[in-house]
Structure formats: structure tokens, C-alpha cells
Structure 1
């Protein structure tokens, strides 16, 4: 059931992204039609312009400030998602025992296993779906912000530090930083959990994909990824600090034994 929910989340996210793909090169204005434009993309674009006005017309600083603001707004959802993931992780040994106990693939056995799993979740006060709702709420906001950055004309016409926000970073510094911070954030998020080969591969694949995208996208989007990743690194450090320290100690101990 949980895998099915995750698949639906992926489909929903892809739908939301594709819903705006046909308009990704069309500037966002108050006259833009559609629920997606009127209630998600345009308000975020308006916020970027208002903050830039307050900061002396700098869209680079506006992008940084608004990215942090949005991350702060969804922070409670992220914390809830992290706590849910930790609770599920703590129950993994018992869930694995149930899988071994009910190894038969026939329908009645699998139904019995699911019943005992639900009883286990109720006993420990864990909702296996609790981590999905925050993700469903976050995705339209983050994808909408991506569209707001891409479709706000004023951002593309401004410059910040050594680059123009509307064109690629000429020295490819931001894409590389985006890849490095994505890797760090992924490693910190997965610290203290058992990684299967697929998850371990994603730790490397995601940063590589981000770098490839950032090489071809406007620098404004690379800046957004870098700021968002740095925020997530700091957030993960404060939420999972003890686990990160324990993992680091365990790693050093393992290295010493070798």
C-alpha cells in the first residue's frame, strides 16, 4: 500500500510539473489564466518582485530570501516527515520478522501479515502514511516556485555576483556547488538508516542529475538549488544531529578496526 501511495505521489508531482511545461517559456503576469498560474505561480512571482523592491531591486538577494522563507514555511511539514521516517525505521526489525514469518505469497498469508503490521503500527502509534501528506503538500509549492523563477521576466534581466540570472553560469561554479550540496544533503538524510543498493545509487545519481540540469538552466535556478540545499543541510543537522554524530563515530570505529 505504501509503495502504491509513493507511486501516486510521483505521478501527481509529474502531472503538476507537466501542467506548466507548456507555459514554462511564457512570462507569468496577473492576466495568466488557470488555477496553477493564478493561485501558485503568480503569487510566488509577485512575492519575488516585492522582496526585490524592498532589497533595492536585487533579484539575486530576493531569490535567496524567498527561498529561505518558503523553506521555513514548510519546515513543520519536513520535521513531521522526518519524525515519521524515523518511527518507521525503528520498527523495521519487527516488520522484517513479520515478513519472514509470513514468507508465503498466497493471498490469505499476505492479508494476515498486513493485519499484524497494522496492529504493530497502532501499538506504537505510528501512521505509515504520515510521511506522505507533507510530501504531497510540499511538491506543488516547490514546483510552483521553480516556475515563478523561470517565468518572471525581471529575474532573467538582472545580474547577481558574477553571473546573469537569466543565463547559464559562465564559470559553472553554481552547478558544481549545487551538485556538492545535493550530495551532502543526501548523505545526511540517509545517515543512520539501512541503505539498499538502489538508495545508495540515488545518493550519487541525484547530484549528477542536478549538475547536468544546472549546466543547461539559467543561473537563477542553480542559485535556488544551492540555497535550498544549504537550508536542508542545516535543517537536517539540527533534526538528526545525534544520529549524524553516532554514524560518524561508528564509521571511525570501523575504520580503526580495519
Structure 2
């Protein structure tokens, strides 16, 4: 059940990004006000971006790239926890599905009993409910602050990244496509190691990239660049923590080891039976 709710929560977070960024876009001039958000968050983030960019000769794209790397380094413990939670969830998914099959009826009592049994299993196996959403929840205000910083900092708006202006949308939609492709790769390789495939997981593999593409085509290139670098790091972490090919190989090795153990037991039983005769 955690997996199902986690996916819907991620969709809700992405929709929140759309709403927040749309609201910010319609009031970009207000970011220079005297409120706490503008004075302490946006202003200081702009200073950090300008300082990082200054280290590279006022290369604002490099400033954003380094800023993204710093944010992801700070989130490293949470991302590791997310990866561990995903791995544990994948391993117990067949057991969760078996519990679900025990309760074919959809009445309230059956559903409550099923959820209680699944929750007990997750607690026993150390699966942290909703842990997979924590990094995304934290990155949401970062993205909103980044958007506001860009729209309120003229230097960044006038910066360039190869073919595109950082303060404007990518005219060729290359960065949004890359961001969506990286999101698809992350979803694909994460789900590849899942021993249970269903329509929900398959749909999410395509829904999330489509949402990323839909959102990013209307964002300044600086924000989309942040997304591209962040997703690239996420993909690297996927292979670092939850390499699907390594997981599949380990799972197949366990199955083969169990088969060999069963064969050895049968051989031992045959030898014992012959001795009795």
C-alpha cells in the first residue's frame, strides 16, 4: 500500500510544482518585496548563485550546476534512505501482493484487515512509509526559490547556456526533453529490478516523464538546467545504490542457491533411503 500511496503523493507534488511556479510566474515582480520569503530566502539564494557564478568568471550556468550539486550532496543521506526503502519495498512486493489476494472482497472490514496486515509486514521488514518522497518534498521549495531568484536577478536572466538564455524558455525544447528522458531513465531502471510488474508501475514510468516535460517547457532554462543536473545525479545514485542489474543477478543467485540446496536435500534423502534398504 505504501508504494501506491507514495506514487500518488509524487504526482501531487508535481502538480504542486505547476501551481506554485505558475503563481510565481504571474507575480515575479513581487519577489523584491520586504516579506520573509523575499528578504531572507530569495535574496540570499540570489547572492549564493551570483557568488558561485563569480567563481567561474560570472558563468551563471556553472553557478546553477554547482548549486545543484551542492543541494544533492546535502540530500545524499535522504537519497540513500530513499534507495534503501525502494529496495526493501521491491523485495517484499510479492508478499504484499499475496496478502492482497487473501482479501478478494472490497468491503470495509476486508480492506482494513488487508491494510493492517500489509502495514505490519512493512514495519517488520523496516520499510519506512513515504520515505521515498522526502527528497522530492525538500526539493520542491528549492525549485520554487530558484525560480523566484532567477526572475528577480537580472544577471542570471541575461546569462546564457550554449543555445539558450537562462531567463527564458528553451527555444528548441532540448533541455526539457533531456529532463524528461532522464526522468524516464530513472523510473525505468528503478522499476527494472522490481520482481513484480503491474499496470500502475508501468504507467508511472511514462506519466512522470510526461509531467516533467509538460512543466519544464514553460520554465526558464535555468530551472530546467537545475532539473537536468539533478536528474543526472539521481540516475547515477540509482546505479550506485540500487543497480538493477546487480540486484537481478543477486536475486537469481539466491534462487539458484535455493534450488541447489533443494537438490542436495533430495540427494541426501535418496542416499538415506538406500542405506535403510
- TM (norm. structure 1) is 0.77
Distance 1:54 1:33 in 2: 29
Q: What is residue 74 of structure 2 aligned with on the other side?
A: 73
Give the 3 Å change call, closer, same or farther, for CA 106–159 of structure 1 in structure 2. closer
Q: What is residue 109 of structure 1 aligned with on the other side?
A: 110
Deviation, structure 1 residue 202 = 3.5
Cα offsets for 1:94-139 (capped at 9, x unmatched):
2222222222233333333333233323332333243344443333
Deviation, structure 1 residue 169 = 3.6
Q: What is residue 121 of structure 2 aligned with on the other side?
A: 120
Whether 1:48 and 2:49 are equivalent positions in the alignment is yes
Cα offsets for 1:195-241 (capped at 9, x unmatched):
32243234334434444554444332332222222211211111112
| Contact 1:80-1:134 within 8 A present in 2 as well | no
Give the 3 Å change call, closer, same or farther, for CA 212–133 of structure 1 in structure 2. closer
Q: What is residue 205 of structure 2 aligned with on the other side?
A: 203
Report the secondary structure of 2:230's partner residue.
helix
Distance 2:112 2:121 in 1: 14
Compare CA radii of gyration and give the structure with the larger one.
2
Structure 2: give runs of 5+ residues left out of the alignment: 252-277
Q: Which moved more, 1:126-135 or 1:61-70?
A: 126-135
Deviation, structure 1 residue 71 = 1.4
Q: Which moved more, 1:106-115 or 1:67-76?
A: 106-115
Whether 1:18 and 2:19 are equivalent positions in the alignment is yes
Report the secondary structure of 2:131's partner residue.
coil
Q: What is residue 256 of structure 1 aligned with on the other side?
A: none
Cα offsets for 1:34-77 (capped at 9, x unmatched):
45444544433221112112222110110111111111111211
> 1:111-190 residue pairs with structure 2 within 5 A?
111-190=112-191
Structure 1: give runs of 5+ residues left out of the alignment: 251-258
Cα offsets for 1:162-191 (capped at 9, x unmatched):
332223444544344333333322222222
Q: What is residue 87 of structure 1 aligned with on the other side?
A: 88
Deviation, structure 1 residue 155 = 1.1
